Amino acid sequence: MTGRLCRLGTVDPDAPHPALGAVLEQDRGHLPFALIHGEALVAAAAWALGEAGVTPIDTGTPWAALVEAEEPLVLHDPLCPMTPPAFIAECVARAVERAAVVVGVRPVTDTVKVVEDGLVGATLDREGLVAVASPVVLPATVVASLGGLPSTDLVALVAELRRRYPVELVEAPPAARRVGSEEDVRVLEALTRA
Question: Per residue in 114-152, pLDDT tens?
Answer: 677 777 766 555 566 668 899 999 999 999 999 999 999
pLDDT at residue 118, as a whole number: 78
d(CA 176, CA 36): 13
Task: Please say whether the beta carbons of 92 and 84 come within 8 A.
Answer: no
Q: How large a percentage of the chain has pLDDT more than 90? A: 73
94, pLDDT greater than 50? yes
Q: Domains along the chain? A: 5-191 (3.90.550.10)
| Omega of the bond leading into 135 within 30 degrees of 0 (cis) | yes
pTM over 0.75: yes
- Residues with Cβ within 8 Å of 33's Cβ and at least 6 positions away in sequence, in order, are 40, 41, 42
Helix axes 85-98, 41-51, angle to 10 degrees: 60
| Selection from 180, 132, 182 nearest residue 2 by Cα | 132
